[in-house]
Amino acid sequence: MTLFGISMTKLRIIAGLLGLCGAVFALIFTAQRTKTQSEFMAFLHSLQGTNITKIVISDGSYDSSSVLASVSSPSALCAFAQAANAVEPYSPNHPSYARGYFIEVYLADGRKRELEFHTMPRDKMIYVYFVQRSGSWTSYYGNCKSAALFDWLYGQTPNTALEPTPTAPLSLWTVLVLQ
């Protein structure tokens, strides 16, 4: 029996090789993401306020990103670094975030680190995603969480930190449950 003139035995070999290539690619991707996440965690754990020149906090929605705050005071930058030093590992499992923020950390050596901060309803924790944005494309490199970063963010954006950004219309069931 043949398909397009190729015997079934050869098709099975080709399918097996393609599957093996896919598995190798997945392993390389996972290893790279793990390495990158550990690099980001080490960066946050060793961050010092004197290494930061500015932090820009933007609304995290993808359709419109407006700057909520630009932080450059040395005391606020040191407070951010201290909060970042206390991050802990986090493995999300289909979370339902209430609000998102895009954070740009400008370093004294000219580099920029990008993070996404998310909050959950009734939870005083920031869920951090290590990201890199290029145009409309966002690459994710790992995540962590921190209660200290929640307090820092609320101190920088007191009028917006706890307000959820609507992502879908509320259903009657949601309204009844929230009351």
pLDDT digits (tens, 9 = 90+) for 38-82: 888 898 999 999 999 999 998 876 555 688 889 999 999 999 999
Instruction: Tell me which of 59 and 171 has the higher pLDDT.
Output: 59
Longest dimension (CA), the chain: 75
| Residue 128 and residue 87 in contact, taking contact as beta carbons nearer than 8 Å | yes
Asked whether residue 115 carries a pLDDT value surpassing 80, the answer given is: yes
CA angle 47, 84, 105 (to 5 degrees): 65
| Residue 80 and residue 55 in contact, taking contact as beta carbons nearer than 8 Å | yes
Q: Which CATH number fits domain 9-164: 1.20.58, 3.40.1350, 3.30.70, 2.60.40?
A: 2.60.40
pLDDT bucket at 96, cuts 50 / 70 / 90: confident
Look over the chain and give the mean of its residue pLDDT values, rounded to a whole number: 79
- Looking at residues 149-177, what average pLDDT do you find? 59
Instruction: Tell me which of 24 and 94 has the higher pLDDT.
Output: 94
Asked whether residue 156 carries a pLDDT value surpassing 80, the answer given is: yes
Each residue of 124-148: pLDDT tens digit? Answer: 899 999 888 877 778 888 889 999 9
| Residue 49 and residue 77 in contact, taking contact as beta carbons nearer than 8 Å | yes
Residues 6+ apart with CB under 8 A from 124: 147, 150, 151
Structural domain spans, the chain: 9-164
Pick from 55-64, 100-109, 150-159: least confident: 55-64
Buried b (16+ CB within 10 A) or exposed e, 161-174: bbeeeeeeeeeeee
Asked whether residue 109 carries a pLDDT value surpassing 50, the answer given is: yes
Asked whether residue 167 carries a pLDDT value surpassing 50, the answer given is: no
